Amino acid sequence: MARRYDSRTTIFSPEGRLYQIEYAMEAISHAGTCIGILASDGVVLAAEKRVTSKLLDKAEASNEKIFELNANILAGVAGITADANSLVNYSRMQAQKYLYTYDDNIPVEQLTQRLCDLKQGYTQYGGLRPFGVSLLYAGHDMHHGFQLYHSDPSGNYSGWKATCVGANNGTAQSLLKQDYRDGVSLWSPAPDQHDETEGSKCGAVELACKVLGKTLDATTIDSDKVEFAILKLDPKTGKPKGQILKAPEIDNLLVKVGLSNKKDQEGMDVS
């Protein structure tokens, strides 16, 4: 039955459904997991990086899941990478136009709205297909402080305290509902005093590691399989600063939270 109504983006089915948008969302559900958690002093993004072959050259500069859109905004993606690259470039252009015009960083929600307007247009006009990618936006501005937004291929967006997109998002959402608490900080205030209620005491970074570790389709977790980014205020300037962690920093972080035994000799500090 669906075949009669899924050939074009603009054709509604008798039930009022747009199958092309549903197909785009289905592509996202098979993509690598991406998690975002809002903390009182920052935002953390964690994403699964699927390695298709051991022969793949893992260059440090080749981030494929987490991108910097502007000095105050990071984004995590789940879905078709080529579509994500196109949207990331569009977002960067919009942010730079705003900076050129007003000499200030673009507000997080305004950039999210502009990107969603573009995505919505691709669901309305003939000859186009929806973008097969969902984005998590982590940002900070003077209007609302730290923020976390999620958008889907239809052009809808919403604000979240913690959310997940991609494969196994149902499991991740359940874990986040169970362990997330309001007012959580990026790092646990007393990491050496864990007990059986560890989930309710861990910081946002530790919670992201814990949830990602339980949703990955792998027995081990290391910097080859995940990407991490932290957005927080620079203690010297008071301005938002995004940090996309490099491989040694990710390995140190995973050792710190007890998810990996891999030792790193460089001893980088990500706290």
* 123-139 pLDDT tens trace: 888 788 899 999 999 99
**Residues in contact with 40: Cβ distance below 8 Å, sequence separation at least 6, in sequence order:** 146, 183, 184, 185
Say what the pLDDT of residue 211 is: 93
* Structure tokens given for 112: 């999210």
Q: What is this structure's pTM?
A: 0.88
All structural domains of the chain, each given as residue ranges with its CATH number in brackets, are: 16-47+62-188+198-255 (3.60.20.10)
Look at residues 9, 267, 43 and name the one whose alpha carbon lies nearest to residue 160. 43
Condensed to tens digits (0 to 9), the pLDDT of residues 193-234 reads 444 444 446 899 999 999 998 888 767 788 888 999 999 999
Say what the pLDDT of residue 270 is: 60
Say what the pLDDT of residue 69 is: 97
Condensed to tens digits (0 to 9), the pLDDT of residues 139-148 reads 999 999 999 9
Say whether 16 sits in a helix, a strand or coil: coil
Condensed to tens digits (0 to 9), the pLDDT of residues 227-267 reads 999 999 999 999 999 999 998 999 999 988 877 766 544 44
Say what the pLDDT of residue 189 is: 72
Look at residues 51, 57, 58, 77 and name the one whose alpha carbon lies nearest to residue 66. 77
